[in-house]
Chain A
Amino acid sequence: MTKAFFDHISTTPLDPRVFEAMRPYFLDRYGNPSSHIHDQGQGALRAVDQARAEVAALIGAKAGEIVFTSGATESNNLAVLGAAEGAGAGKRHVVVSEVEHFSVMNALIPLRNAGYEVTVLPVDRNGVVDPDAVRKALRADTALLSVMHANSEIGTIEPVGPIGRIAKEAGVTFHVDATASAGHIPVDVREIPADLVTLSAHNFYGPKGAGALYLREGTKVAPRTFGGFQEMGYRAGTENVPAVVGMGAAAILAGREIGAWTEHLSRLGKTLWDGLAAIPMLHYTGHPSERLPGHVSFWVEHVEGESLLLFLNMKGVMAASGSACSSNLRGHDEEDLVASPVLRAIGVPSDICTGSITFSLGKGNTADEVRLALDALPGIVERLRAMSPTYLDYQKQQIKGG
């Protein structure tokens, strides 16, 4: 059976070329970059420094501005907590958008507990943060502003350029979570006036367990891990050398091939987007044009998201739900089932939040795979509607209403 993976926003497959670059660092080249008096350690140190330059090149940064981490969550935690503390005692105010990832949102909990004031910026129906709202929210005591580059659930690209200029004028440290965007659209710190940028390797065909935080020269960030002097003191602990090497290799590929990837994703994404229009009572989410290429998100009236995804999976089509309701099956109790905060933020009615579907395409997807999804969807929607009491009531109402 043909299988089609349309959940690249959760992770991308490792590019085989990246794997080949990593391979020697699992076996032959096992040195610790911090113990580099000998050849093994020297080799590891050089590999990590080379990867640092490669990741820096992807976003137009200097090598010395890249700190390797275990991934986007750690980078976001370091950015939020580290910049809040680094801003100094007088600055006890943090501003974030309401559609930030959990690794930003939940990092605010210890800050609130420590007495920080948090302003959460609303988004419009397309999930866009209003730069004017940012301007109004920033204060003399604001330590940090955090706005993501692109939203994983609804694909919307935020106006981080204008927002960054406002932050710069106000002298506020600006963090951009580029987890969903890096490798999919250009992320260049010479154009986006960000002080901190989060990157995740496995979101652009690199390995899991590798991420980076870009720190613009002069940005004050306090460390969150304590130990040795790795990563310029920002992140103690022996580097995950194979993963870091993989992140560097993935950054080279992304830098070189992003143009072709974007074109491919845009084309397939448009086919999917246009094809979905044939399904009655389907509503797209996120910004119609300012969105990630190959990212298509929507909800369908009278169809519950998880059921749709389970049926799609049986047909070989792997997509995801924006809703924690459907995706967080491994939660401890029902308290873990909550409607997606992002969908609530853009005003999707709560009875619909469980129906949200996200297709995120990758460079390996084909037109045939998109066709497979488009062929499978109408029948599944019909089947689930036929089972739904809400659809039955809707039909009866339609008949009554003539």
Chain B
Amino acid sequence: MADHLLEVRNLSVDFHTATGTVHAVRDISYYLDRGETLAILGESGSGKSVSSSAIMNLIDMPPGKIASGEILLDGKDLFKMSNEARREVNGRRIAMIFQDPLSHLNPVYTVGWQMREALKTHGKGNTEAQAEALRLFKRVALPDPERSLDKYPHEFSGGQRQRVMIAMALALKPDLLIADEPTTALDVTVQAEVLNLLKELQRETGMGVLIITHDLGVVSEVADRVVVMEKGQLVESGTVREVYHNPQHAYTKKLIAAAPGKGDMHEPEATGDAILSVKDARKFYGGFEALKGVSFDLKAGETVAVVGESGSGKSTLARILLRLEEADGGTAKWKGKDLFTMSPGDLFKLRRDLQMVFQDPTQSLNPRMTVYQLISEAWVIHPEILPKAKWRERVTELLGQVGLSPEHMGRYPHQFSGGQRQRIAIARALALEPQLIVCDEAVSALDVSVQAQVITLLDKLRKEMGIAFIFIAHDLPLVRDFADYVMVMQKGEVVEFGTVAQVFDNPQKPYTQALLAASLDPDPDVQAANRNARLATAS
């Protein structure tokens, strides 16, 4: 029997930490052949990146330790090779690209230097390396390849940086490319382009691709086979179609069920006058116009989703509405009073009504405060809301509302998972009994199954307490499940505004259509049809 390109056999990796041994992966096995794409699907903490780090010899030992198993590359065990031999394998035989290309490129050297280094490390001469770097930059379609080589990583956009990473990884024509969440940090349309590029390059070179992702959409778009990981164990494997249509393991079923974008869409049902009425909001940063006149109305108990790619101005809109930054024009009437020109005194009273939940709960919660302190701090600032004697009781109640229990009160943020932390952030926002909550990518950093829980929670609060939401997101399926209205933004302007059904089922503007087309569907058959339709329109 011919050897597989890559075969991982019974791999177990432990991390010995001060608090005890963590079994990061336990007894996992999979294989990959040339020209094939295997996806490792899992949520955070599932150990999905550990085996690839073991393949690349990137695990720090200690604290890491290969407890058992072997990794065969063309039948040869990597663990039996010398460090020097493994270094030779890295880059030449196996290459890797990562989630966040900005931090994975050295900021102080030009990208051309870093490209040439990859080539020269494995024995290419200077002029040869330069020519090859230029050829690769042309191949990955970087603009103005000659000049791009002399630029530094910060001078590129996110998508271009990932193209640089891909060019660098492919410099030595590796047999195996490992892509660890390669498109997670990118906008949907850029994600589609990068995945497309990867597939083209795979067809040209016949390399095997191991893609690590949490996104079912990415799996259905690029992978032939998939292995599903949970808590360090491999729970299911098979072709993408098999696994999607006929999942065997309970976890896989849960993961597929949690994928957003399949439920019924909301019919806007809120009545009455608008509580917030934004007219022609503008914001400049120097000469750059970040918001070019945005207008919309919002009623109590209603959700407006603001979607758009990075640089569209959606976060700027949130910041000026909460007066975290000053608007440069327009009005935002909150129950008849203009938020943009309100005096600091009025604004202070109003802070109660308007709350914000941020993207990253790890950063937005003070790590030195307990949950009780985090939530009750609102009443220290606004003592008229609640007498101190009732604080404990109310914190218990709020924790209950967001699905946490009273004993969590004395703990610190780091003792919670990401999803729990975001619930704490929501409980903190609720402490002031707000009438509007602005969620800036509030669930983007969370795992799919946790996302679903948080969205359900927000929807419950909307129904029961009549809270209005401005829901800023880049993830369209999520918006589809939660919003009443959708506002599509591009370069500081509103491109399209309508009920969620109008925008999703019958998008009017080409930009909205492009966004929807680039959004990946977890169902491989639907995704294949979408892709063919997209390619047909493109050609």
Same assembly: no
Interface residues in chain A, defined as those with a beta carbon under 8 Å from any beta carbon in chain B: none
